[in-house]
Structure 1
Amino acid sequence: MQVNVNGIDTRYVLGNEGGGPWLTFIHQLGGDLSIWDQLAGYFRNDFTVLRYDVRGHGNTAAPTAPFTVADLSTDLAALLDTLGAKSTHLVGMSMGGAIAQQFALDHASRVNTLTLADTFACTLPDARSIWDQRAEAARRDGLASLMPASLERWLTPNFRGAHPEVVEQIRDVYLHTTVEGFALACAALRDFDVRDRLAEIRSPTLAVAGRHDTGTPPAATKAIADAVPGARFEVLDAAHLAPIEQSQRFTALLETFLQSQV
């Protein structure tokens, strides 16, 4: 399905077989809504499950002007408004986790629970150049130049060897991300910083990290859990895409967390 959100043609998939509370999934940089296929299928009988492509990713149009994570939060609010969702349980991974944090701060009354996977609350000054380098490389050499290193960060060698079909799907989505959408998202993540506001979050919060995540070390995700009142922190035996690599364990954690709050 496509809908215009803040002037951007946006793709979303809505599964409401169960007609239950809303549950929204937000994907990573260089990903799209398909990363959540398995999880969406699992929860669709008990929740109204929403997945969508962030601007510049998947089949959502790429903007030409710079944007911030706050703008991406506004996109989600507009999408929920269009679909008639007053509130939602929110799950975000990596970039999606940054958007989810921002949304929980900007629209606190609309977040029933907050689940953050392999994400961070800010880009420290000494790491800002990494995002600039990735954006520059994408524009100069294309996303294929960044793909091998991304896969190494995202999934452990054992998982990549055992599940080539999953790796292939992730690679294909990454390579079909628009260069400008990717580069502008890098700039948004470079400037992201909500450290000083995390204590304002009142939604029940679950933070999950991959033990082998070198791009966003577990300490970065734990720092969020430490700052959000009452947040729970879990570590999985995975790299950056922990909800995918340890899908059964992540699903069990999320299910138990949601059941305790519904």
Structure 2
Amino acid sequence: MQVKINGIETRYVLSNEGGGPWLTFIHQLGGDLSVWDPLAGYFRGDFTVLRYDLRGHGKTAVSSEPFGIADLSRDLAALLDALGAPTTHLVGMSMGGMIAQQFTLDHPSRVDTLTVADTTGGTLPDGRALWDQRAAAARTEGMASLVPATMSRWLTPDFQAEHPEAAEQIRDVLTHTLPEGYAMACEALRDFDVRSKLGTILRPTLTVAGRHDTGTPPAATQAIADAIEGAQFELLDAAHLAPIEQSHRFAALLETFLERPV
């Protein structure tokens, strides 16, 4: 399905067989909504599951202007408005986790629970240059130049060997991400920092990290849990895409978390 959100044609998939509370999944940089296929299938019997492609990713159009994570938060708010969702449980991975944090700060009354995986509360000053380098590489060399190093960060060698079809789908989506969409998102990540505001989040929060994540070390995700009162932190035997690599364990954690009274 397509809908125009803040002037951008946006793809989304809504699975509401269960007709239950809303549960929204937000994908990573260089990904699209398909990365959530297994988890959407698991939860759609009990929840109204929403997945969508971020600006410049998948089948969502590239933004005509630079944007920040706050703009991506506004995109999510507009999408929920368009679909008639007053509130949602929110799950974000990597860049999706940054959007989820921003949205919870911007619209606390619309978030039932917050789950973030393999993410950070902000880019440190010494990390800003890295995002500029990746943006420049995408624009000048194309996405193929970024794929090998990215895949090695995202998934452990064991997972890639044991689940080649899953790894290949993720690689294919990354390879076909529009370079300008990827580059503009890198610049949004470069400027993201809500660390000083995390203590104001009062929603039930689950944070998850991959033990072997070299791109976003587990300590960065744990710092989010430390900043939010009552937040839960879990460590999985995975690399950067922990909810995908350890999908059964992540689904069990999320299911238990969502069953708690809000």
Fold shared, TM-score > 0.5 on shorter chain: yes
SS in structure 2 opposite 1:251? helix
Partner of 1:179: 179
TM-score normalised per structure 2:
0.99
CA distance in 1, matches of 2:137, 2:55: 20
**Aligned counterpart, 1:112:** 112
Q: Is the 8 A contact 1:131 1:186 kept in 2?
A: yes
Give the match's secondary structure for 2:89: strand
Q: Residues 117 and 207 of structure 1 are in contact (CA less than 8 Å); yes or no, is this contact kept in structure 2?
A: yes
* Residue equivalent to 1:73: 73
Shift in Å, 1:175: 1.2
1:111-260 equivalences in 2 (<5 Å): 111-260=111-260
Seq. identity, %: 74
Query: C-alpha distance in 1, partners of 2:150/2:88?
Result: 30
Q: Which residue of 2 aligns with 1:13?
A: 13
What are the equivalent positions in structure 2 for 1:21-40 lying under 5 Å apart?
21-40=21-40
- Tell whether the 8 Å contact from 1:97 to 1:119 is kept in structure 2 after alignment: yes
Find the aligned partners of 1:253 and 1:63 in 2 and give their Cα distance.
35
**Partners of 1:94 and 1:167 in 2: CA distance:** 17
Tell me which amino acid in the other structure corresponds to 2:107: H
* Ranges in structure 2 where 5+ consecutive residues have no aligned partner: none
Letter matched to residue 68 of structure 2: T
Q: Give how far 1:96 is off.
A: 0.1
Moved over 2 A (4+): none
Residues 96-116 of structure 1, C-alpha deviations (whole Å, 9 max, x = no match): 000000000000000000000
In structure 2, C-alpha distance between the alignment counterparts of 1:4 and 1:126, rounded to whole Å: 37
Task: Tell me the CA shift for residue 37 of structure 1.
Answer: 0.2
> RMSD in angstroms over aligned alpha carbons?
0.6
- How far is the alpha carbon of 1:229 from its aligned partner? 1.0
Is the partner of 1:114 in helix, strand or coil? strand
CA distance in 1, matches of 2:167, 2:49: 24
Q: C-alpha separation between the residues in 2 aligned to 1:239 and 1:261?
A: 31
How far has the Cα of 1:64 moved from its partner? 2.4
| Structure 1 gaps, min length 5 | none
1:95 corresponds in structure 2 to 95
**Superposed displacement of residue 176, structure 1:** 1.3
> How many residues are paired up?
262
Instruction: Tell me, in whole angstroms, the C-alpha distance in 2 between the residues paired with 1:138 and 1:170.
Output: 17
User: Does the residue aligned with 1:260 lie in a helix, a strand or coil?
Assistant: coil
Cα separation, 1, equivalents of 2:58 and 2:257:
29
Secondary structure, aligned partner of 2:73: helix
Distance in 2 between the 1:187 and 1:115 partners? Answer: 24
SS of residue in 1 equivalent to 2:223 = helix
Q: Is the 8 A contact 1:24 1:49 kept in 2?
A: yes
What do residues 150-180 of structure 1 show as CA deviations (whole Å, max 9, x unaligned)? 0000000111111110111001111111111
Matched AA of 1:32: D
CA–CA distance in 1 between the matches of 2:108 and 2:162? 40
Query: Is the CA contact 1:64–1:180 (under 8 Å) kept in the aligned structure 2?
Result: no
Q: TM-score, normalised by structure 1?
A: 0.99
Contact 1:202 1:228 (8 Å CA) reproduced: yes
**Which amino acid letter does the alignment assign opposite residue 118 of structure 1?**
D
Post-superposition offset of 1:261: 3.1
